[in-house]
Amino acid sequence: MDVGGQASLFATGGVAPAYRHELSGGAWVDVAVGWAPDADELFALLRATVPFRGHRRRMYDRVVDEPRLTHRWVLPDDAVPHRLRDMGRTLGERYGHDFTQIGVNLYRDGADGVAWHGDRVARERPEAVVALVALGATRPLRLRPTGGGASVSFPLASGDLLVMGGTCQRTWQHSVPKVARSGPRISVQFRHLYPGMPPGGRPT
């Protein structure tokens, strides 16, 4: 799918602005290349200090291990690294939401990934904003209309920002497909609290 991009006013000092990609059904995606110039240092910090752990989930008639490791903070939490707090504050000022939930997903190699999905609670909201900052190895994030259809791929390199907004969580799905080879990657996710969502509720 060919998705056109349009520059927005969002930029951080000396860093390229975000480009708005309008999807169907009121969904949109902003992408800013190199948004986090200290990506390598932040990756090393998170990899060394975050207590990542695995989760299990039901798939059809069996329970399986999720092919990635995760951790999540809910603000206020003194354990949140200051750099992530600063990122959330900057994103909140741009998008008009308080990003009180910060999650980190560790993809250890190409065998880790995540299947097609939309954020569970956000799927029930008319609109929501979810921001992702990629750290480490370049991996594609793919989006397709809910229920199937042509997909669009965003190859996110270390430091790139991708923001899904509008109806994206409800009318589109996203995935990080497994690949033959890849170094480790961390995805930092910023979410705001939706009405009816418990503060400690797991969003996906």
pLDDT in tens, 121-166: 666 677 999 999 999 999 999 999 998 999 999 999 999 999 999 9
Task: Report the share of the chain in percent with pLDDT over 90.
Answer: 72
What pTM value is reported for the model?
Answer: 0.86
Q: Which CATH superfamily is domain 17-191 in?
A: Alpha-ketoglutarate-dependent dioxygenase AlkB-like (2.60.120.590)
Q: What is the sign of the dihedral through the CA atoms of 18, 192, 170 and 72?
A: positive
Q: Residue 26 and residue 5: Cα distance in Å, rounded?
A: 15
Cα-Cα-Cα-Cα dihedral sign, residues 40, 44, 135, 113: positive
67 burial class (0-12, 13-18, 19+ CB within 10 angstroms)? middle
In the chain, the amino acid numbered 138 is: T
Handedness of CA 41, 85, 30, 171 (dihedral sign): positive
pLDDT tens digit string along 38-65? 999 999 999 999 999 987 665 556 656 7
